[in-house]
A and B are shown apart, each in its own frame.
Chain A
Amino acid sequence: MRRPRPGPRTPAALVAATPGPAHTIEFDGRAIPALPGQSIAAALWAQGIVAWRTTRVGGRPRGAFCGIGACYDCLATVNGRPNQRTCLLPAAPGDTVTTQEGHGHAELAV
């Protein structure tokens, strides 16, 4: 007797998740779906996006590293506020996330 073939393996399938409908956030002008309960970093990862910041010295790309709020590598500008830890910040409908350049205060010229 064969067991029914499992569907494609995904994180959601693994834990039998039935999340509510996705809402939308904006990342650098692009609409990104986010599931209710996901952090901003998780919503970006789900779209295959792993970089949303450039470093202050070398201008190199960075994204989430530790995933738990300890490394501060996942900083982004969220709704105009720079230096937000996107791995901790739940994605709220309509959030605007922009790639943060350097220390995030370019417009202040500090």
Chain B
Amino acid sequence: MPNSPSEPSGSSGSSELSGSTGVAAGGAGYDLAVIGAGPAGLAGVVAAADRGLRCVLLDAGGGLGGQYYRHPAAELRAARPDRLHHHWSTFTALSRRLAEHREAGRVEVRLRHHVVLVQGVPLPGAPPVSGASTGWRLHTSSGVESGAGSTGRVDARAVLLATGAYERQLPFPGWTLPGVVTAGGAQAMLKAGLVLPGRRIVVAGSGPLLLAVAASLAAAGAEVPALLEAGGYLGYARSPGTLAAVPGKLAEGVVHGAALARHAVRPRTAHAVIEAHGTDRVRAVTVARLDRTWRPLPGTERRIACDALAVGHGLVPQLELATELGAATRTVPDGTLALRVDAGQRTTVPGLWAAGETCGVGGAELALAEGELAAATIAGQQPPAALLARRRRLRAFAELMAAVHRPGPGWTGWLSPETEVCRCEEVPLARITEAVQELGAGDARTVKLLTRAGMGWCQGRMCGPAVACLAGAGAGAEEPAADRRPFSCPVRLGDLAELPSD
């Protein structure tokens, strides 16, 4: 049964979904819908409610905080969740302010609500929020994990997209073995479920997340025999001004460094895992030194025994909802696409704002600043100069970070023809090479159609960046275009049937 607009769809037993009303009285919907309850979304919704906007906050997850502030389920009764987080007090302060706004009926929170589609609709009644000529209808699905799913709709005059990012993976032989997990996944399972994928965990890939992951795995009792960064850290030194402008980032690095030193973990740069070994699960990895293009140097291979590997190569902004609406993107120095926003966090689509990792991966501090900034301009206010300056400094650092950890093209040197590139559809490199070299595929889309890479369950979230890179090796390669998909996640046919046909 379709829900009427702006009514809680009430499918889950979570108390967060209790049918509090009042915020959306009158049928005109909310002033603002914030998608994503991580740092950017939390800061945005609280700052918008501070300014008197009636807001709804939606998140696909079961708790507030997103991936960054992911924390143990309440039933695990963790007295010191802060030990797995930097700046935990920022999260508790935001949560407290959010609770006050909910109490006062200014904000409604809908957890376990995945926004699958955003549509522009004319909204009757009150004048539009700054810059929005029309309104938005958000179609949600909830309860998908438990099978007790239902769909819902939310109307709002403005949308703030704070959907964050997912991890970029580069394949290597053996990366589909059980016990090989994403670096962020190891971190997420530790933070939420207090578990480790093994006792002896190699951490590898690129980007600053690896330092945080290795430090928390070690603090939680894992042995970390190797921490391998495929790029380097020296690149940061080439922009001392950018670095000096964000002392907090240096301090963060020092904290991770100290934690790692305490557990005798020493990061090695220009090194990568080029193969994982095992049959039923990972038992060892081969690591090698890389040249400046990330090509493995023959003769430098070394085998390290382990029972898990946490691996990741930076983050990819999650943009589906915005690109489907036609929002313009830009290419970040790490090769990912991010939303193009102006100084007030407006995307190129009127009425659609974005903050945090969707505008280019830059960390929680930047996400918080951008969320707050967006709230100010959504409310039609001039953002404070200090906030603008902070955003500028942190954004400059984010661009530097992206350039430093950008994957080098030589990573394909560690693939073998049998290496599975697409995990879901089990497509080996040989089939992709054939599509590119013999069948003339020059872009990821054509490779996908010819090989089924990216057509499985995850819809290319795991193999997409790698396939785009491999397809780029073909003739006539172009800058990858943003993925445009009508839905942000797999939707059941029954749910589709409930969408309005107009």
Contacts and interface: CB of A to CB of B under 8 A. Distances in A.
Contact of A58 (B76, B188, B220, B426): B426
Nearest to A19: B76
B251 interface: no
Interface centre among A38, A39, A57, A65 (most CB of B within 10 A): A65
Nearest to A12: B194
Contacts of A75: 457
Interface in B236-268: none
A56 B181 CA distance: 20
Given A19-B75, A42-B193, A85-B145, A65 B81 contact: no
B67 to A, nearest CB: 6
A35 B78 CA distance: 12
Interface string A35-66: 11111011101101011000111101111111
A64 B189 contact: yes
Contacts of A85: 145
A14 B84 contact: yes
A88 B282 CA distance: 23
Nearest to A51: B178
Interface in B445-461: 456-458, 461
Q: What is the size category of the interface that chain B forms with chain A?
A: 35 or more
A9 B60 CA distance: 32
Contact of B146 (A14, A45, A89): A89
Interface of B: 60, 62, 67, 72-81, 83-84, 145-147, 166-167, 176-182, 184-190, 192-198, 219-221, 280-281, 308, 423-426, 456-458, 461-462
Given A15-B83, A45-B189, A62-B176, 6 more contacts: A17-B78, A20-B77, A38-B194, A51-B281, A57-B425, A65-B182
5 contacts: A13-B221, A38-B195, A46-B195, A72-B456, A84-B147
Interface of A: 8-20, 35-39, 41-43, 45-46, 48, 50-51, 55-58, 60-73, 75, 81, 84-85, 87-90
